[in-house]
Chain A
Amino acid sequence: MDVLTKTITLTINGEPLALSGPHNVATLVAHLGLDVRKVAVELNREIVPRSTYGATPLADGDSLEIVHFIGGG
């Protein structure tokens, strides 16, 4: 299988997600339909700065947390 189209499996917010094709954090956030200005991303327990989303590739087995602000006291 071509490396560019192979399927990777990520864990996002504790749930598995299979994706085909090369991915970085920017394309993942777009794929998920999220507004990039309103979320923050942690990849394998490290913060991914928003300015580096496009330059942060994702690999099979990566674990991500994607969070936003909600009501709280």
Chain B
Amino acid sequence: MDSLTPTTDPWTVAGRSFNSRLIVGTGKYVDLPTTAAAIEASGAEMVTVAVRRVNLSDPKAPMLQDYVSPSRYTYLPNTAGCFTADDAVRTLRLAREAGGWNLVKLEVLGPPPTLYPDMAATLEAAAALIKDGFEVMVYCSDDPIAAKRLEDMGCVAIMPLGAPIGSGLGVQNPLMIQMIIENAKVPVLVDAGVGTAYDATFAMELGCDAVLVNSAIAMAQNPILMARAMKAGVEAGRLAFRAGRIPKRASANPSSPTTGLIR
């Protein structure tokens, strides 16, 4: 890095600062060693995790914590699989007891094939979690009104989807993502929909504070290489956002001087 690009450009959520603007999920990997290697390559400092029943028939099976240390990475427990406020609160109370973390990712989804955020249930669960002392980073629709409502309730980060979970379609509605960013005083993260590195770059160029990626890394043919690509993509988008892009125009504009030509 040179003097124009300081080595740190941190963002802050709920009083915690992070240098990496890439948050990665830990799901869908072929095994735990690959999970660990890909997360290492991604440079992420925060990882999402799920809370599930232990397998009592194999109590000594390796656990995520053995490969992705909670002392090195900030665990962000999610509510995947919860369909009611009650389920979400129960799940995250268990997560808080297991890890001691108040910072959580709320996601209440509708059924397949959309898995679209169920915003009525999300708002209800957010209220219950905030009342219970959680700091809620909330997965939501790309709806600026709902996003503002979640912020006003006290959510510490707003995380609209770029496209359906696992679709890899990239940001489908940049206008609404941009409106959410412009209206928000808390961090805005694009969560879900990133397919490849330039989708993450594009999200960051819109002015997001960070991007959350799981499937695009875990399901890539080489997850470790894709993790490194996402790291570079997020950094490129952030730098481009800070640099300020040129306006788009409908006609050409020469790059070389038009004067001083030989005759």
Contacts and interface: CB of A to CB of B under 8 A. Distances in A.
B181 to A, nearest CB: 22
Contacts of B54: 13, 34, 39, 66-68
B259 to A, nearest CB: 56
Given A32-B59, A33-B59, A70 B98 contact: no
B94 A40 contact: yes
Contacts of B26: 70-73
A50 B99 contact: no
Contacts of A49: 97
B50 to A, nearest CB: 3
B214 to A, nearest CB: 3
Interface residues of A, number: 27
Interface string A5-44: 0000000111100000000000000001111001111100
B256 to A, nearest CB: 48
Contacts of B28: 71, 73
A69 B59 contact: no
B25 interface: yes
Nearest to A17: B56
Contact of A12 (B49, B56, B60, B93): B56
B29 interface: yes
Contact of B98 (A15, A33, A38): A38
Interface in B17-55: 25-29, 32, 35, 48-54
B27 A67 contact: no
Given A34-B54, A47-B93, A73 B60 contact: no
A50 B97 CA distance: 7
A48 B56 CA distance: 18
A67 B56 contact: no
Contacts of B98: 38-40, 67-69
B94 A71 contact: no
B184 interface: no
B12 interface: no
B85 to A, nearest CB: 15
Contacts of A38: 63, 65, 98
Given A68-B63, A71-B27, A72-B49, A13 B56 contact: yes
A70 B94 contact: no
A71 B63 contact: no
A69 B49 contact: yes
Contact of A71 (B29, B60, B96, B165): B29
Interface of B: 25-29, 32, 35, 48-54, 56, 59-60, 63-65, 75, 77-78, 80, 90, 93-99, 165, 192, 212, 214-215
Interface of A: 12-15, 32-35, 38-42, 45, 47-50, 65-73
Complex A-B, nearest 3 residue pairs according to Cβ-Cβ distance, in ascending order: A72-B50, A73-B25, A73-B214
